[in-house]
Amino acid sequence: MVPVNFTLTQGGVATCVLPPATIALTRTAGGTTGPIDESIYTGSADTGSNFRIDNCQYIYNLSASALGVGTYRVDIKISNQVVGSATFQLK
């Protein structure tokens, strides 16, 4: 399980006014590169590619067991626009 958590700021200050956000996963190195279907990384705590909101924070528990070795980029989208990203590697 790879926890993906983030907060949103407005004018440099954290805000609790949180619009819906989704996650997108792409393998960037190791194995076949390209977008990963959400059915591969969705865990039991999450619904599709939608982040949960808890305590003014976006939360997603990315299931890594079926991903395989490689480097991955997580994109965070609000209104279908990427507002942040992170990279992680599985060995």
Render pLDDT for 29-48 as a digit per residue (tens, 0 to 9).
988 899 999 888 887 767 78
Token readout for 14 is 């954290």
| Rounded Cα distance, 21 and 53, in Å | 9
- DSSP code string of 51-88: PEEETTEEEEEE--TTT-SEEEEEEEEETTEEEEEEEE
Going along the chain from its start, the domains and CATH numbers come out as 2-90 (2.60.40)
With a cut of 70, list the residues of the chain below it in pLDDT: 45
pTM for this entry: 0.84
Structure confidence at residue 47 (pLDDT):
72
- CB within 8 A of 46, min separation 6: which ones? 52, 60, 61
